[in-house]
Structure 1
Amino acid sequence: MNQMAQPKLYYSHYNSKMKTGTQLELHLQEVGEAAQQSVPSFLHFDVIDYQQIKRLLKAQGYFHDLGKYTDFFQEYMRWGKRSPYQNHAHISALFFYRYLQEGFGAVSEDQQTNEILSFLFYVLVRKHHSFLTIDHLFPKEEIPRMRRELAEQTYNLLDKKQALADTYMLSETQMEQMLQDIPKLLTDKKLTLSTTRFRKKYAHERWYFLMLYGFSQLVDKDKSSAARLLQRDQIHFQSEWVTQYIERKSKGQTSHVNQMREQARHTVIHQINKMTADEVASTRIFTLTAPTGIGKTLTSMQAAFRLGERLQVLYHYTPKIITAIPFVNIIEQTKIDYEEVLHGKGSLNVNHRLAHKHIIDSFQLKQEIPIEKAMLEVDSWEGDVVLTTFVQFFQSIFTGQNARLMKVNKLAGSIVILDEVQSIPEKYMPLIGAVIIKLSEYYGTRFILMSATQPYLLEMGQRLLSHGDTETKEMTPTYSRSLLPEYADYYQLQARTKLIPSFQRVLDTDSLMDFFAETWQNRSAVVVVNTIKRCINVYEQMKDQFSGKALVYHLSTNLIPIERKRVIEEVKIALTSDQTVILVSTQTIEAGVDLDFEVGYRDLAPIESLIQTAGRVNRNANRKDHNGETRACPVYIVCLEKDHQYIYMFHHMDRTKALLAKQDVIFEPHYLPLIDTYYAQMADHLSTESLELWKKGVQLLDFKKVSAFQLIPDDQSIVDVLIEWDEQAEKLADAYEMLRLDETELDLEWIACVTGEAITSKSISPFQKKALARLILSKLSVYMVQVRIQRFQQTKPLPFSDRGGVDTSFYWVPRNQLAEFYHIETGYGCVEEARMW
């Protein structure tokens, strides 16, 4: 072998332009030590304890890149010399497997457990750069190639056996023997048939959650080391920060609703304060059930902070706070509340599809972290408080994608607030309930489940866990603690609204208008329908008939996000100035949008959606009768043809309709029994989707099956269209093209001005360029609308590549063609029957 092929130093990562890199031995040490040190003491599995997991993860980190010591990899990385033997993951995994089999890394006295762990961690190392799977590991047609590859790599590593023995604290003889054994493992049926044997004999959900944790730790710490990203110290939360924010916000003003909010908040904090140390240690799941408008966002935040304070005293460990919200459109207001509470004392990581535009606020300017590192922090849930969506949260658990799984280890020991849990689709409630139970058991995660209509998530999860399994049928019910034990009293004290089922006949748009005219009485009204087409049709008729008497607005996902925000702000200003407003909306209005109308109209939907609409009516109890008492404002429930079938096809709408039809009027104090009856009926059966994903996906470690989980259906018939709405959209599109076209001379000063990012260097690396393009794309997303294929084919916007030659998956409406494709009031193009998503 020539001199060039014998580098004196071994690198894990190398920048050929800068002629610098990370030394391999240092990288292995960093990954192993970081994984070991980040395991919280709450982590526990029934077959392996906290200390054993720490040792196993440390060893995994040390061995995961052993294959990078080959000259084949070093020459490829440093000089671009390709070889069929440059792959490093498989030989690293086999050596780690052999190491564990030899007993050096034995973590359990039980031989069967050690065999399972050896196999599973072999998979984790082998797949740490790809999709996690235990399937198709040793296809017959690939064995000859694998044998040649391993033989060449082993022979190459034998030349370095002394250096490797020193690195891994083995004798030279042990290292030589273990290296020579590696090619033989391809004929070792104990390994090659492990997948089949596991599924026949050892299937259990514990292995799924252990694999997720181990894989997440490896991918997270590997990427952090490669990016030279330092681990952050978690700040110590103070629950008084929330009180201070509320005092700044209220400015001493009081009202009946504010008094109720304060009473509820103090009750919640008192519940946590009065818990004994043993109760704090053992209680993993909390519920916060209260009517809409009671201030659950700030109350749950303070509850999490107070719980964190108590855990810090007990364990000298401050947990991360992770808040997951069902809808992207309400995350902005929640973000503002969290930022105001933290008040610069901690970092807020906002992680969702549009999240990277928040990097500048949360990390870069405050802590001078390069943009690509800041993005890695966002993706890996670094930060004191993480704000994310249900989609990001749950689809990081039900997946085999390494980029998504990277963040899962951050759940261990954290406090997770799940807001509006009733919005979880019915078919997934047993599955999500089971996951919450198991995450709390295995990872020591503490959950605060928050809802105005608390579904039977835990009960359904318990049923799924015990389904057909004699081992778990005897398990005790999952214990949860209510943070507002007297929540029923809060419903009894409410008299803000009343539901009026109006199912005498099925309505179309014209008859809905007649019904509205009969009942409206010139009050500010919100009309919530189920489809975009209906929304626009009703809006146009409302505008024709009532624009002289009221301000009429339209709100749906047919508008670009930046315009939806504008509409909400305009409506809020009009309502607070006592102008009469009619807002026609899809379910976009239902959660987290702080608007207050006098009367509501809602097309048939699940009970929880009806209650959410009612939460936008008389929200602050300001409407009074002639005696000065709070007036129960009406929310009319109607049935608009078959619209509900397009949106809620997987819900049992007949059950909902039957429950509502039993009463002429349902006053707010009676919402709670109605909700309980609804969820009790739902809990009587387990959905096929939850059963299949749990039994065939989670327990059998079928990650392809698990990846079928989709909280929101990934509708392949939908495309993104960029609306070049204003000058800023145009400039962002220009900057995106500049980065994607790979121009050698980038005007970084101009890009910094357009994006608002602090770019101080005169040149950027390809990785930095990719990160910056990704950030700009997230900023462009506020100008994008999702369009169904049928509408797309009718309107035919231009491919974005027509703008400047950059190929993307989305399409484009130029500023000079806005009139042809987009209307300021109704949004994109012509409309047709479209689902809300």
Structure 2
Amino acid sequence: MEYYAHISDDGLRRQTVTEHCRATAHYAAECLSGMDLSKAAYLAGLLHDAGKFSSLFQAYLESAAREEPVRRGSVVHTFAGVRFLLEHYHGTAPLSFDDIACELLAFAVGAHHGLFDCVDENHASGFCHRLSTHDNEYRESMENFLAHCAGQAELDGLVQEACAELGPVFERIGELISSEPAESTAHYFYVGLTARLLLSAVIQGDRRDTAEFQTGSPRPEDLKDKRELWNTCLQHLEGELEKLSHAPGKGSMEIQRARQEISHQCRQFAERPGGIYQLNVPTGAGKTLSSLRYALAHAARWNKSRIIFTAPLLTILDQNAEVIKEHVGDNSIILEHHSNLVHPREETEELNVQELLMEDWSAPVIITTLAQLLNTLLDGKTSSIRRFQALSNSVIILDEVQTVPAKMLTLFNLAVNFLAEVCGATVILCSATQPCLKKTAHPLVSDLAEMVPYDPAVWEVFRRTRIQPAGRMRLAEIPAFAMGVLEQADSLLIVCNKKDEAAELYEKLSGSDFRCYHLSAAMCMAHRRKVLKELEAALENLKSAPQESREKILCVSTQVMEAGVDLSFQRVIRLSAGMDSVVQSAGRCNRNGESGSPAPVYLVQCQDENLAKLTDIQRGKDATESLLARYSRRPADFQEDLSSKAAIDAYYQTLYREMPEGFQDDPVRGKPYSIFSLLADNSCFADERAESFGSYFLNQAFRLAGRLFQVYDDDHLDVIVPYESGKEVIAALGSEQAKRNLEYRKAWLEKAKPYTISLYDYQRRRLEEKHGLWPVRDGDTSTWALSEGFYKKEIGFSIEETSMQFLEV
């Protein structure tokens, strides 16, 4: 009897379970061959579908092929390989390293269609469950697997080789935890990441072979040696840099020389072996091109598999992507992966290929968001887990690393340690305000060598602003202060922490004798883009207008103006916040060096603002005000510069020291555990009450942690606003055609994105009380619209209570 894993959609072709398991094993082994884990990955891939060697699964497959009603997943096929490994190769306490290796392999086999908890909230064991169910199917499946796919002797040999491969991984984990305190549970977390790595390879192998069978066309093999590719790209980049060095209008000769020296130092640093390094250069120093030059040279020197660039915001990502594409010389090797990419629906074949690339990150150069990278490391979806294997032997450039959420510092640091020390990745932390990641609860293990050593003289070349403490003021006093600043300047940006602050200042200042603009996340993207375009034109006209007829410009904004916006004001006022945000705001001042000397950025300590609902901003503000107090006493300790390395280091050390214990572990709201604890020892559930207490090393609640993990809090409602074409969008989505035609509805939902704002749950309730919110179609609560009276053309979303705190995004 033949046992089949898949039947093609047209029913004309069949793939046997043996063919599929062998191909999956081969592809999984390829994924981890650079880490010397190919045998472990091969074994897990070989056993992953052993449960399909049963008559029950074969009947299910045939029924599905005949399009008979079947429930997907109703026949469990993932248990058999888990049970076989644990019954044949796992011992009893005290557990050996080989026993732990066996658990890792079993988990990788059993979770390839979805994570499971090794110990769940009810203290039940995922391993015990898989050992005690489906007895008849298990015996039948494994008898047939051993007869048709792989014999006992081959499996014994593979298990022995897999354990031998995992031994050095355990040794490296031992080295990683040597600096942790005795009570640390970080070793459990690292072993859990090893399980995720093996699982990622199995998922990649399984999905790739399945896709190749269904399409009937194998994907071209990846280049094992990419040094020629990297060298070609490097030569093209360096040719472009040579042209840039002679191009007019690229800054003074002094700035040109400083940029070239920074680029040269990055090129030289590429000769060093992999690790975790810092690229700490000032704004305007050519960080994107210097890091690209390093990445290409390092990848060529050390034969890296791929280069991955991340940025926190889509605006920054888009800018970086344009620069990278322009200078690499071959766009076909680049994949952009982020939420705003929309592919034409009619190009079905191309869309499928793009989705496949996004799921496995097989392209040589990946440009993605920080959120996507963190999801790859920690999210529970199989599409996220699948990408994890692509991080091994890669160069990862993390731009604006200070934007990693503070609550995730433990998860981030330990994952970066694992990538560098176990997976052979090189990780570059880029920022003009480098966080002190060696001063966190679970620090980076690297000495964090700087690619470009800090040189105050070089930073002075790029200095365009000077941050000046402006003292304490109430919000009502700030308009008078702003008017005084505008007496010495023609343009001013005020950056607030909250939308209601920005709205109040705008309303008080907009009646003055100058042009006033407002920008915040209370405005939909289309609204913000329109205002930004008008503001850009006004600032440009200001440059050429005669002095006597110049109309002064004021913009009141929230953090939406802090990064990724290429506008330049003569002065900036920033309400006190974290120093990383203050420096970002300063980047909107004298941006192009229009002033011959550094322009002032005024830091105002607002006395009466309420940040109770914005605790991250409050912590940053407190740490900044602590720095200001120290600076006022001993400015020489900070080179009389609030943006100096000494000042930024002092800020971050205070920020981390004052965080509540466990905050950096990503605590789960309302629960006694964190994402870190769930992925480490899982002590809340894996205690004496646990079904498997003492029987297994892996006790993590992988499924629960993966489900709860969120890069950014998602407790908000997206609402379409009646701004310009937003009215047409609302009407179209409420039409009968949208109700009947799914493609029509999807197309209009895509068009709705620029006309959407986010509201917290309590804002939704207040709006519902005022009848300000309604579903676009009766009976469908998936899509909501804002009533006309609650959206203003000047400030966007508005409700009567001016003290209301809005979602700050």
Normalised by the length of structure 2, the TM-score is 0.78
Aligned position for 2:691: none
% same residue: 21
Q: Of 632, 635, 642, which aligns to 2:609?
A: 642
- Structure 2 counterpart of 1:432, from 412, 415, 435: 412
- C-alpha distance in 2 between matches for 1:35 and 1:143: 23
Q: Distance in 2 between matches of 1:78 and 1:726?
A: 53
1:182 alignment partner in structure 2: none
The aligned residue for residue 720 of structure 1 is 718
CA positional deviation for 1:454: 1.1
Give the corresponding residue for 2:507: 540
8 Å CA contact retained: 1:297, 1:334: yes
Q: What does residue 4 of structure 1 align with?
A: none
The correspondence of residues 659-674 of structure 1 with structure 2, limited to 5 A, is: 659-663=627-631, 668=641, 671-674=644-647
- Which whole-Å deviations, capped at 9, do the CAs of 1:277-328 have from their partners, x for residues lacking one? xxx33x312211112232222322222122212223xxxxx43121222223
The answer to whether structure 1 residue 286 and structure 2 residue 272 are counterparts is no
AA partner of residue 699 (structure 1)? A
- Contact (CA 8 Å) 2:733, 2:776: kept in 1 or not? no
Alpha-carbon offset, residue 802 of structure 1: 0.5
* 1:543-558 matched pairs, under 5 angstroms: 543-546=510-513, 549-550=514-515, 552-558=516-522
Q: Structure 1 residue 166: deviation in Å?
A: 3.3
- Residues 289/735 of structure 1: CA separation in 2 closer, same or farther (3 Å cut): same
**Conserved in 2, the CA contact under 8 Å of 1:693 and 1:709?**
no
Match of 2:29 in 1: 36
Q: 1:621 offset after TM fit, Å? A: 1.6
Residue 453 of structure 2 is aligned to residue 481 of structure 1: no
Partner of 2:562: 590
Distance in 2 of aligned mates of 1:137 and 1:120:
21
How far apart are residue 272 of structure 1 and its match? 3.5
**Alignment equivalent of 1:239, drawn from 223, 226, 234:** 234
CA contact (8 A) 2:82 2:106 kept: yes
Deviations 1:761-791 (A, max 9, x none): xxxxxxxxxxxx5x98566433321112333
Question: Where in structure 2 are the equivalents of 1:287-326 lying within 5 Å?
Answer: 287-312=278-303, 318-326=304-312
CA contact (8 A) 1:76 1:86 kept: yes
* Structure 1 residue 520 corresponds to structure 2 residue 457: no
Alignment correspondent of 1:651: 619
How far apart in 2 are the matches of 1:348 and 1:738? 41
Distance 1:729 1:338 in 2: 38
Who is 1:679 aligned against?
Answer: 652
Equivalent runs, 1:668-817 vs 2, <5 Å:
668=641, 671-682=644-655, 684=657, 687-690=661-664, 696-700=677-681, 701-703=700-702, 706-707=705-706, 712-716=711-715, 718-723=716-721, 780-796=752-768, 800=775, 802=777, 807=780, 809-812=782-785
Q: Where do 5+ consecutive residues of structure 2 fail to align?
A: 157-182, 213-217, 544-551, 666-672, 682-699
128, 135, 139: which one pairs with 2:112?
A: 128
Task: Give the Cα separation in 1 of the matches to 2:486 and 2:434.
Answer: 31
Q: Secondary structure at 2:40's aligned position in 1?
A: helix
Q: Give distance in 1, aligned partners of 2:362 and 2:731.
A: 29
1:821–1:266 distance in 2 versus 1, CA, 3 Å:
same
The residue aligned with 1:456 is 436
**Cα 1:247–1:596 shift into 2, 3 Å:** farther
How far residue 239 of structure 1 moved from its aligned partner, in angstroms, is: 2.6
- 2:268 corresponds, among 273, 284, 288, to 273
Shift in Å, 1:409: 1.1
**Alignment match, 1:263:** 258
Code of the aligned partner of 2:573: Y
Does the 8 Å CA contact 2:277/2:428 hold for their aligned counterparts?
Answer: yes
Q: Distance in 2 between matches of 1:144 and 1:274?
A: 50
Which letter does structure 1 place at the counterpart of 2:525?
Answer: P
1:404 to 2:404 alignment: no
Q: Give the distance between the partners of 1:123 and 1:425, measured in 2 at CA.
A: 29
Measure, in 2, the Cα distance between the counterparts of 1:421 and 1:704: 28
Structure 1 contact 693–705 (Cα < 8 Å) conserved: no
Q: Return the alpha-carbon distance in structure 1 between the equivalents of residues 431 and 328 of structure 2.
A: 24
CA distance in 1 between partners of 2:260 and 2:805 (Å): 43
Check conservation: 1:93, 1:125, Cα contact below 8 A.
Answer: yes
What is the aligned length?
A: 719
Residue 735 of structure 1, CA deviation: 9.3
Partner of 2:399: 419
After superposing the two structures, state which structure 1 stretch, 128-137 or 69-78, moved more: 128-137
* 1:556 and 1:588 in contact (8 A); partners too: yes
**CA deviation string 1:409-441 (max 9, x = no partner):** 111111111111122344443543333222200
For structure 1, list consecutive stretches of 5 or more residues without a partner in the other structure. 1-7, 44-49, 103-109, 175-198, 313-317, 467-476, 625-629, 755-772
Q: How does 1:562-577 map to 2 (within 5 A)?
A: 562-577=526-541
3-state SS of 1:559 partner: coil
1:452 Cα deviation from its structure 2 partner? 0.6
Which one is further off, 60-69 or 120-129?
120-129
Task: Provide the rounded CA distance (Å) in 2 between the counterparts of 1:155 and 1:737.
Answer: 56
Query: Which runs of structure 2 are paired with 1:102-121 in the superposition (5 Å)?
Result: 112-121=96-105
What is the alpha-carbon distance in structure 1 between the residues aligned to residue 186 and residue 762 of structure 2?
48
Matched, 1:334 2:301: no
CA contact (8 A) 1:499 1:636 kept: yes
Q: Which is further off, 146-155 or 524-533?
A: 146-155
Alignment partner, residue 765 of structure 1: none
C-alpha change, 1:58 and 1:489, in structure 2 (3 Å) is: same
**Are the counterparts in 2 of residues 319 and 413 from structure 1 also a CA contact under 8 Å?**
yes
Given that 2:269 and 2:451 are in contact with CA atoms closer than 8 Å, whether structure 1 keeps it comes out as no
Does 2:522 align with 1:561?
A: no
| Partner-residue secondary structure (3-state), 2:434 | coil
Q: CA deviation at 1:585?
A: 1.3
User: Counterpart amino acid of 1:696?
Assistant: S
| Separation of aligned partners in 2, 1:173 and 1:711 | 39
CA-CA distance at 1:257 after TM superposition: 5.6
TM-score, normalised with respect to structure 1: 0.76
- Code of the residue aligned with 1:673 in structure 2: it is A
- Assess, with a 3 A threshold, how the Cα gap between structure 1 residues 390 and 711 changes in structure 2: closer, same or farther: farther
Q: Which residue is 1:74 aligned to?
A: 58
Q: 2:591 aligns with which of 611, 619, 640?
A: 619
Tell me how far apart the structure 2 counterparts of residues 428 and 142 of structure 1 sit (CA, whole Å): 27
Counterpart Cα distance in 1 of 2:344 and 2:296: 25
What CA distance in whole angstroms lies between the structure 1 residues aligned with 2:355 and 2:486?
50
Counterpart of 2:174?
none
Q: 1:825 aligns with which of 777, 785, 794?
A: 794
Alignment deviations for residues 523-543 of structure 1 (CA, whole Å, 9 cap, x no partner) = 211110011122222223332
Q: What is the CA–CA distance in structure 1 between the aligned matches of 2:220 and 2:607, rounded to whole Å?
A: 54
Give 1:572 deviation, angstroms.
2.9
Change (3 A) 1:87 1:668: same
1:464 alignment partner AA: H
Deviation at 1:722, TM superposition (A): 2.7
Comparing 790-799 with 401-410, greater Cα deviation is found at 790-799
Distance, in Å, in 2 between the alignment partners of 1:172 and 1:447 is 38
Provide closer, same or farther for how the CA distance between residues 94 and 232 of structure 1 changes in structure 2, counting only shifts above 3 A: same
1:95 deviates by 2.5
Cα deviation for residue 659 of structure 1 reads: 2.0
Say which is worse superposed, 785-794 or 29-38, in terms of deviation.
785-794
Which amino acid counterpart does residue 212 of structure 1 have in structure 2?
R
